[in-house]
Amino acid sequence: MRFWLMKSEPETFAIEDLRRKKVSGWDGVRNYAARNFLREMKLGDQALFYHSSTKAPAIVGVMEVVREAYPDPSQFDRRSEYYDRGSTRDAPRWFQVDVRFVRAFPRPLTLEAIKQAPALREMVLLKRGRLSVQPVRSSEWAYILKSCL
DNA sequence: GCCAACGTTGGC
DNA sequence: GCCAACGTTGGC
């Protein structure tokens, strides 16, 4: 099983929205590197939910992959902000997975705290900006769950 | 295929 | 709102 981190702006879609829906498609990823990671995800993989572009950016919970990558319908929807006129149904460019709410952390791990933790120094989150879907090492996963629960 | 211009992400 | 980092586009 692999571990991941996925970013969302809470004003658009927050951990509480996922808690309410229970299962949701993770749509709107329009970056090739992030898209490729989505396509590597397997049923049962676990992912951290990260709140970005907010006052205190933080890892706020856990979700589970319940459906592997399939074409993101919003790329075909002319009214969607994610519409991509260059994508066709025969050769879709963008993919999504479905995720299920697992838990919201009682103590979210802020970006500030992540930067302070020696165990998390190598996290992709700190190394590569602007990547909204990214792998997490199992050692990092273990450390994060220990600090947040 | 290079690279300048431009657009987006996301922390601050 | 600013701006650094970095991805994408498009002319050559």
DSSP states of A38-102 as a string?
HHH--TT-EEEEEE-SSSS-EEEEEEEEEEEEEE-GGGG-TTSTT--TT--SSS---EEEEEEEE
- Return the pLDDT at A79: 86
Query: What is the C-alpha to C-alpha distance for residues A42 and A145, in angstroms, rounded to an integer?
Result: 21
Residue A53: which nucleotide is closest by CA–C1'? B10
A119 closest CA partner among A98, A146, A91? A146
CA distance A61 to A108: 7
- CA A85 to mean position of chain CA atoms: 25
pLDDT band at A108 (very low <50, low <70, confident <90, very high): very high
Q: Considering only residues 94-133 of protein chain A, which place a Cβ less than 7 A from any atom of strand B?
A: 111-112, 115, 129-132
Instruction: List pLDDT tens digits, range A49-104.
Output: 999 999 999 999 999 999 999 999 999 988 888 888 888 898 899 999 999 999 99
A145: Cβ under 7 Å from strand C?
no
Per-residue flag: A126 CB under 7 A of strand C = no
